Amino acid sequence: MGFSFPARRRLFLLLALLFALVALFPLRLAFNMLGLQENGLAARSINGGVWWGTIEQLRLGRVMLGNVEARLSPIQLLVGRARMDFVRQTGGPDDLKGAVTVSSASFGIDDVTASIGADGLFAPLPISGIDFSDVSVRFADGACVRAQGRIKARMAATIQGLNLSQGLSGEAVCDGPALFLPLVSQSGLEKLNLHIEADGSYRAELLVSTMDAALAGTLAGNGFSRAADGGYVLKISGRL
């Protein structure tokens, strides 16, 4: 005596088996297979399944993102992209929400809202942290092809006479192959122009407009040089 299953039931069982196998697929293996490490992402440990897991000490380049929950988006897989969503919700200032999306020729971040620390990341620029508000950036074939969202650089008060306590902010845009962050203080007298390339290299200029001789002397003593417009500029470069 044997058992006979209708075709629909056999199809259901097959789909259920495939779903179970995918649901148990390790997040760590997906992280490695997507080549996220080749794009600067690293972590101390990755645990759980591909649809919902945890990542400890997630880092993008030299930027520490901390401990997050993560999952792979099934919808993006249907259109040939892999999107891994990250979230940390504690109700505090260190909440994080956003995603990293990769395809065969592109890499980027999507819909990132977060506040991260940046002490020493852009030294000697006195940037203590960066706030992201719905920021999306995409690089394709090494060039910036999409950038949007608001960025705010929080500044440490390390230069006497220069009040940057309210930070500098602006909208992310593409400038040629680079991501360009044109950040301006509330007074408009201080500007931070930050260009970031696909490989994580950056160049930055902090420009200060002033007619104050005492402040000019302080700026000169902190590495600023005279700019073409009569203000003072500090230029640096490095890699994130």
What is the residue type of 64? Answer: M
pLDDT above 70 (res 227)? yes
Mean pLDDT of the chain: 85
Lowest mean pLDDT, pick from 1-5, 28-32, 122-126, 229-233: 1-5
pLDDT above 50 (res 1)? no
Lowest mean pLDDT, pick from 75-84, 108-117, 150-159: 75-84
The two tokens of residue 51 are 């649809």
Average pLDDT over residues 97-121: 90
Spell out a b/e string for 11-41, using b for 16 or more CB atoms within 10 Å of the CB, else e: eeeeeeeeeeeeeeeebbebbeebebeebbb
Alpha carbon distance, N-terminus to C-terminus of the chain: 68
CB 212 within 8 A of CB 179: no
Tell me what pLDDT residue 3 has: 45
Q: Report pLDDT digits (tens) over 4-22.
A: 445 655 554 555 555 555 6
What is the residue type of 70? Answer: A
Tell me what pLDDT residue 212 has: 84
User: Phi, psi (5° rounding) for residue 86?
Assistant: -125, 140
Q: Report pLDDT digits (tens) over 115-170.
A: 988 878 888 888 889 999 999 999 999 999 999 999 999 988 667 777 788 899 99
Angle, vertex CA 123, rays to CA 100 and CA 237, nearest 5: 70
Share of the chain above pLDDT 90, in %: 43
pLDDT above 50 (res 2)? no
For tokens 């290299």, the residue is 201
Tell me what pLDDT residue 117 has: 87
Global confidence as pTM:
0.84
Tell me what pLDDT residue 97 has: 95
Q: Show Cβ contacts of residue 84 under 8 Å, excluding neighbours closer than 6 positions.
A: 30, 31, 34, 36, 70, 71, 72, 73, 99, 100, 101
CB 190 within 8 A of CB 201: no
CB 23 within 8 A of CB 35: no
